[in-house]
Amino acid sequence: SSQNLSEEFAEAARQLKKEAPRIQFGKMDVTHQHDLRKEFNIQAFPTVKFFVNGSREDPIDCKGVRKASAFITWVKRRTGPSTVLINSTDQAEAIIKAGDLAVIGFFRELHTGSVEVFSETARDVPEMPFGMTASEDVCADYGVQRNSLVVFKEGKPVHNEVLGDGRQSRLGLTRLIKTFTLDLVTEYNIETSVKIFDVPVENHILLFTPVNSETFSEIYENYQSAAAGFRGKILFVLVDTNEARNGRIFEYFRIRDIDVPAVRILNLTSEARYKMPADEVTVENLKEFCQSYLNGKAKQHLPSEEIPQDWDKMPVKVLVGKNFNSIIF
């Protein structure tokens, strides 16, 4: 909530006052400041922007940061180095074992396009430590190909991404790395909903199914297997249809008991919805659905009410999605 964020923001300001007094924190209620709201194009609340060198032009958006510690790291990485330079395996181990997640870049040299993209990505992901190394010994100790990024979770490597010539976009890497703050498949509930929307992946696939059904474990296993190949591109979410508090989501997607298990893709930006053409929740069907969506070939699903029996009785006809095209066009 805005209140929580405001408190964390204030805590970050208190802590940074000692360490970096030149960084000023301020807060503003733009409900009465219409000119400022327009000037800085404030669309949603709360919005945090970082102004550099006393300029009002092009402030940097600070998105998805909710904790005081992450605010502090975000600001420090904007005003100083964003990654720790690693010269020994001991240093690498210290970073990897310091918390739940860590990201290490293994490079041939430290002045390339891929290093630049890696450093920029580190600025966008303040929730986890970033280190980089060009030490042959360190790369050899981890058996990692040079010019690649490795995500460590609970001290173990869980993802290896070859960075090539720095062709990967910063946004693509940010999305990929942030997904590791979630499980491969995240069950939707009040607690996880905030985390789900903090990860900047705009494509979500949702599996609607009762968690206590006999076929659940098989369906879930298939869903999880398919998820691995789309990390960073499509976020895999599970919705338990037996959970009454999820009712609003069923309404939004017009899911009925008779439809489950049901699979839908939602694009958060356009709110376009897509229905998996196949009924069976198999790995193959899921992969095909996700791939056709990413290739722009999936058909949009426009949920419709059933055609009322007396739609044609009165001079003003009753139209729903299912008879709209045939009557109007």
Topology at the third CATH level for domain 186-295: Glutaredoxin (3.40.30)
As its CATH architecture, domain 1-79 has 3-Layer(aba) Sandwich (3.40)
CA 11 and chain centroid, separation: 25
Cα 267-162-195 angle, rounded to 5 deg: 35
CA distance 303 to 162: 41
Mean pLDDT by 10 residues, the chain (329 residues): 85 91 87 87 87 90 89 94 96 96 96 91 94 96 92 95 73 92 93 88 96 95 97 96 89 86 94 93 98 94 72 76 60
Concatenating the DSSP letter of every residue in 34-70 gives HHHHHHTT--SSS--EE--TT--SSPEE--S--SHHH
- pLDDT of amino acid 46: 84
- pLDDT of amino acid 48: 92
Task: Residue 250: name the closest of 321, 188, 174, 162 by CA.
Answer: 188
Task: Residue 322: name the closest of 308, 309, 305, 310 by CA.
Answer: 305
| CATH no. for 84-179 | 3.40.30.10
Task: Residue 182: name the closest of 129, 131, 220, 236 by CA.
Answer: 236
Query: Look-up: residue for tokens 């893709």?
Result: 265
State the burial class of residue 157 (Cβ atoms within 10 Å of its Cβ: 0-12, 13-18, 19+). Answer: middle
- pLDDT of amino acid 317: 77
* Identity at 90, one-letter amino acid code: D
Pinpoint the residues of the chain covered by CATH 3.40.30.10: 1-79, 84-179, 186-295
Contact 319, 327 (CB under 8 A): yes
Strand order in the sheet with 273-275: 185-187, 235-240, 203-209, 262-267, 273-275
Beta strand 130-133 with 101-106: parallel, antiparallel or unpaired? parallel
What is each CA distance from 156 to 24, 99, 133, 152, in whole angstroms? 38, 12, 18, 5
Beta strand 203-209 with 156-162: parallel, antiparallel or unpaired? unpaired
- pLDDT of amino acid 323: 64
CA distance 314 to 317: 6
- pLDDT of amino acid 328: 61
Query: What pTM, to 2 d.p., does this model score?
Result: 0.82
- pLDDT of amino acid 278: 93
